[in-house]
Amino acid sequence: MQDNIRAFMDYLENNKGVSGNTLTSYMRDIIKLNEYLYANGVKNPESASSKILNQYIDELIEEGKSPSTVTRKIASIRCF
């Protein structure tokens, strides 16, 4: 999984030209997603089902994350 995260970070820096803050936020989002997936038996993020991704989003909402934070996390996931 670490290779996927590294490749994503390189993509954001070199192809998308995102700001430092955006890069930090997206990386944090993807690392947290990967932790969630791994804890739920998904070893490869590419094999994550829409069901598990929706469960992740539901959990974020239940944790009280703001709508803008949830929206950014969804954007991070889509970009990844």
Domains, the chain, in order of start with CATH, read 2-79 (1.10.150.130)
Predicted local confidence at residue 53, as pLDDT: 96
Query: Running along the chain, 80 residues long, what does each successive block of 10 average in pLDDT?
Result: 82 87 91 94 89 96 96 91
What does the DSSP 8-state code read for residue 45?
G
From its phi and psi, is residue 19 left (phi > 0), alpha (psi between -120 and 50) or beta?
Answer: beta
